[in-house]
């Protein structure tokens, strides 16, 4: 399989009806780079307050019926500590853009985790910030940052976001993060409203320019209380095709089988691994607030277990021919 497909070939692969050769090519490359290893990241959704109004997102500022919550710094650090005990060596802190967590607060949380567990990676997924803030987080010990670009097409971006946001700022953030030294993650939703096949090709071309360490994609899921609540969801098959295409174009990349895929496809997580993904994100968010982090409806999550290498998730992954490892799971060289 050509790892540099032209646009026409990309469109054919994205919409492929019989994806077996595509899946096989992706799986081969994944095994060459990462063997059968599956890396796990403990996800802490620590706030659902958000100042933004992304039209697709369930926790957008304008979605008033949503009950809002924040975990305290101490709670977040304690949850991370418990995750470490279960075998997790990466903690992902995700949230809305919540001004209550200023730079000092984020840095205290990062240091609180790293002081006790220096061998644990901290990943942030807290949106667009000034470059100086990103630098402070990096100096405090965070080493990875997830910021999906959402769509690389200017006109499409404007349809998904309010005027106060811009694709150029999001791209600038991604470049700043890379420049600072973060292992940086970008990505997009599959089947978001108004998306065309050409847009998806643009997304792949944008990623080729950026060369991110991590690439997260998932199907768009309509969400109550948002302007897109009555739009159709994205195609899980197309998402799986795109995971395989990403593995082929970016053999080194850390690619999660995402919660969104698992939410609309019963075996989505396993099918995602078989399509080329090599990362899973068990959810460590306390059960009482987990349902409030409703970025989309019917959100499922990978349940936390006493041990990531010895439980029902581990078994499921093994039965698919892969194995969860206790490892930070850093990116191998970007080539």
Binding residues (CB under 6 A) for ligand SAH: these are 56-57, 94, 96-97, 125-127, 147-148, 150, 189, 218, 220-221, 223, 260, 295-296
For residue 66, give the DSSP letter. Answer: S
Q: How far is the CB of 54 from ligand SAH (least distance, A)?
A: 7
The residues, ordered by sequence, that sit 6+ positions from 304 with a Cβ below 8 Å of its Cβ are: 42, 83, 86, 282, 283, 284
Q: How far is the CB of 301 from ligand SAH (least distance, A)?
A: 13
Give the residue with the Cβ less far from ligand SAH, 143 or 258: 258
Q: How far is the CB of 146 from ligand SAH (least distance, A)?
A: 7
Give the residue with the Cβ less far from ligand SAH, 200 or 317: 200
Give the residue with the Cβ less far from ligand SAH, 57 or 79: 57
* Interatomic CA distance for residues 56 and 239, integer angstroms: 17
How many whole angstroms from its chain centre is CA 298? 17
Q: How far is the CB of 53 from ligand SAH (least distance, A)?
A: 12
- Nearest alpha carbon to residue 249 among 335, 324, 185: 335
- Nearest alpha carbon to residue 49 among 30, 29, 63, 31: 63
Q: How far is the CB of 154 from ligand SAH (least distance, A)?
A: 17
Give the residue with the Cβ less far from ligand SAH, 27 or 202: 202
DSSP string computed for 243-302: HHHHHHH-TT-B-B--HHHHHHSTTHHHHHHHHT--EE--B-S-HHHHTT--SSTT---P
Is the Cβ–Cβ distance between 296 and 58 less than 8 Å? yes
Give the residue with the Cβ less far from ligand SAH, 39 or 188: 188
């Amino acid at each position: 399989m050509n790892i540099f497909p032209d646009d026409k070939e990309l469109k054919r692969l994205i919409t492929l009806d019989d994806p077996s050769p595509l899946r096989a090519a992706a799986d081969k490359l994944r095994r060459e780079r990462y063997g059968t290893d599956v890396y796990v990241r403990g996800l802490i959704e620590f706030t659902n307050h958000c100042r933004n109004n992304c039209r697709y997102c369930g926790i957008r500022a304008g979605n008033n019926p949503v009950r809002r919550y924040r975990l305290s710094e101490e709670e977040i650090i304690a949850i991370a500590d418990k995750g470490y005990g279960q075998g997790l060596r990466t903690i992902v802190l995700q949230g809305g853009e919540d001004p209550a967590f200023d730079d000092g607060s984020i840095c205290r949380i990062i240091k609180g985790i790293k002081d006790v567990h220096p061998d644990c990676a901290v990943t942030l997924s807290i949106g667009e910030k000034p470059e100086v803030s990103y630098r402070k987080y990096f100096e405090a010990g965070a080493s990875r940052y997830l910021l999906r670009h959402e769509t690389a097409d200017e006109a499409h971006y404007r349809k998904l976001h309010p005027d106060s946001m811009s694709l150029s700022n999001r791209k600038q953030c991604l470049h700043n993060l890379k420049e600072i030294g973060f292992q940086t993650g970008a990505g997009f939703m599959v089947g978001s409203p108004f998306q065309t096949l050409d847009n998806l090709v643009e997304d792949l071309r944008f990623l080729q320019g950026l060369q991110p360490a991590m690439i997260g994609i998932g199907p768009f899921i309509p969400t109550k209380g948002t302007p897109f609540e009555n739009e159709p969801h994205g195609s899980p098959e197309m998402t799986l095709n795109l995971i395989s295409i990403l593995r082929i174009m970016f053999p080194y990349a850390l690619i999660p089988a995402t919660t969104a895929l698992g939410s609309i496809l019963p075996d989505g997580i396993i099918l995602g691994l078989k399509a080329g993904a090599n990362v899973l994100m068990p959810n460590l968010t306390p059960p009482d607030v987990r349902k409030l982090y409703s970025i989309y409806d019917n959100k499922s999550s990978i349940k936390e277990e006493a041990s990531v290498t010895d439980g029902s998730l581990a078994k499921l992954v093994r039965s698919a021919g892969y194995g969860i490892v206790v490892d930070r799971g850093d990116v191998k060289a970007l080539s």
